[in-house]
Amino acid sequence: MAGSRSAAPRVGVLALQGDFREHLRVVGALGAEPVSVRRPEELASVDALVIPGGESSVMDKLSRTFGLAEPLRHAIDTGLPVYGTCAGLIMLADTVLDAIPGQRSLGGLDIAVRRNAFGNQLDSFETDLDIPQLGAPDVHAVFIRAPVVESVGDDVTVLASLTDGRVVAVESAHLLGTAFHPEVTGDTRFHRYFLDKVRDHMERAHV
């Protein structure tokens, strides 16, 4: 992958479908070099990747159409830092409990997610989350037809849960996932947290 200790990280955003433009703006504003990723050669040029919100089944189909699915799986397996929001979290899950027929995830996070977790009556809502890793104040989280994490493996750390205990943010090694959309609130702490992971990864790669 690209990058050096002194260079700004090149952060790709999977730009097949969904709200990728918002993520490109945020990572650029935080000093990273934003890169739209639609082809394998663009994926190969980045130090990290964000998989945005959108429709996970459509992202799955388009990633296969564009020849990106297997390169994405390989990049995840070999340690590329990846942050998935909403549909991106579904894409990173090893298990999708309510996948449509033929739908595949990329995997990497030892979690099981449910896509349509809140039903038709609560497609979208907002709440505040206490996330110690990000400090005060609470994170104002926007959920838009959001998934939830129904089970986590031993190597997965839960970062945030709803008051009813349902898990909505996780991390494991180089992977980070949230069921909500921090790119729409103006609170950049999750992206900063991810970029810290990216810079640590780049430094270890160049020791």
Residue 140 is among the residues annotated as catalytic for this protein:
no
Q: Looking at residues 161-184, what average pLDDT do you find?
A: 95
Residue in the structure block whose two tokens are 């000093």: 31
Identify the active-site residue in 22, 23, 171, 181: 181
**In this prediction, what percent of the chain has a pLDDT beyond 90?**
84
Identify the active-site residue in 23, 183, 191, 201: 183
Residue 33 is among the residues annotated as catalytic for this protein:
no
Read off the pTM. Answer: 0.93
What pLDDT is recorded for position 1? 45
What pLDDT is recorded for position 63? 96
SS (H, E, C) 178-201: ECCCHHHCCCCHHHHHHHHHHHHH
State pLDDT tens for residues 76-107.
Answer: 999 999 999 999 999 999 999 999 999 999 99
At residue 3 the predicted structure's pLDDT band, cuts being 50, 70 and 90, is: very low
| pLDDT at 24 exceeding the cut of 60 | yes
Residue 22 is among the residues annotated as catalytic for this protein:
no
Q: Name the β-bridge partners of 157.
A: 171
Contact residues for 70 (Cβ-Cβ < 8 A; gap 6+): none
At residue 7 the predicted structure's pLDDT band, cuts being 50, 70 and 90, is: confident
Are 4 and 10 spatial neighbours (Cβ–Cβ below 8 Å)?
A: no
- Among the ranges given (104-118, 119-133, 166-180), the one the predictor scored with the smallest mean pLDDT: 119-133
What pLDDT is recorded for position 120? 55
Specify the higher pLDDT residue, 16 or 123. Answer: 16
State pLDDT tens for residues 32-78.
Answer: 999 999 999 999 999 999 999 999 999 999 999 999 999 999 999 99
Residue 186: other Cβ atoms inside 10 A = 8
What fold characterizes domain 10-205? Answer: Rossmann fold (3.40.50)
Specify the higher pLDDT residue, 9 or 207. Answer: 9
What pLDDT is recorded for position 181? 93
Identify the active-site residue in 22, 23, 42, 86: 86
**Structure tokens belonging to residue 89:** 């979290």
Cα 100 from Cα 136, distance rounded (Å): 39
E strand or H helix at 188: none
